[in-house]
Amino acid sequence: MPIKILVMCQRKAGRCSGSTQKVEQTVVPIIEQYLSNYLHTRDYKIDYLSKLEDANQADKVDFNMEVDNNAQFNDFLKSKANYYSIIVLNTCPYRFIKFDYISQLLCNNGVVILSKVNCQDTYDKNLFTIPPTDTAISPSNILKFFTFKDGFYIKTNTTTNSSAITNSSAITNTNTNNNKRPPLVIKDDADIGMKTRSQTKKQNVINKGGKTKTKRIKRKRKNKKNKNKTKRIKRIKRTQKRRYTTRYRN
C-alpha cells in the first residue's frame, strides 16, 4: 500500500504567481524529488490541497478548500482523520496554521515537513527544513502538537512513549493506512543519485518471474538484436553462395 502524503498550500498544476513558469515544471518536481529521496524507493501517493479563488482552476488541486472551521473542511477532516503519514506545508502562513487540524489528519507518529519551495528555486534539501526558531513560525503553536527531531516535526501521541518516536513502529489508523513511519534520515543526494519518482518507481516494479521490467525489456532488446544479427549473417552467406555458384557455372 502506498504511503499517503498531503501537500498543503500548493497547486499541482498552473502558472506561478507573477511568472510564465508552471508549478508542475518547477515546484512540484522538487517536492516529489525530495519525497523520493526521503522515502528511499517506497511507493507513495500525493494529494494537493489549496484554496483557489477561481472555480475554473479547481482541477489544479485535489482538494480546493480552506483549512478552517467550515462545513467543507470538517467533512474532509472526518473522512481523512488519521489518514496521512506525511503532510508537507509548502510556503504556508505557518503562524496562522491550525496545527490541531494537521495533527488530526496524521497517523500516529506521522511526519510534518515545513518547506519553502518557490518557482525560481532549484533542488536543495535545506528548503525542507524549517526549525521552530525560524521567525516565520510560532513555536508554541506547532510544538504543542509536534516534536521537532532531525529536521522533522513528529506527531506527539498521548498514548505513545518517547521511544516510539525513534523506532520504526507500524502506523495504524482507522483508514487502513498501515505503513511504517518513514525514516528520519535522508541519504546524501550523491548516494541517492538525484532519482526522480518515475525512475525510482520503474526500478521497483516487479513482474511475476521475479525480474524487474527494466531487465526484461533489456533482455528482449538483446534477443532481438541477436536475432537480427543472425538473419543478417545468413543473408550474407546466401548472397556469397549465389555469387560463387554463378561465377564458376559460367
Q: Per-residue pLDDT tens for 55-75?
A: 667 779 999 898 888 899 999
**Domain spans, the chain:** 3-203, 206-250
- Asked if 117 and 127 count as a contact pair (C-beta separation under 8 A), the reply is yes
CA distance 44 to 204: 13
> Which residues fall within 8 angstroms of residue 127, CB to CB, at 6 or more apart?
30, 34, 115, 116, 117, 121
Cell of 126: 535545506
Give the pTM. Answer: 0.65
Write out residues in the chain with pLDDT < 50, as ranges: 158-181, 183-196, 200, 202-203, 205-209
pLDDT of residue 217: 75
CA distance 30 to 121: 9
Residues 16-52 have pLDDT tens digits of: 888 889 999 999 999 999 999 988 878 999 999 998 8
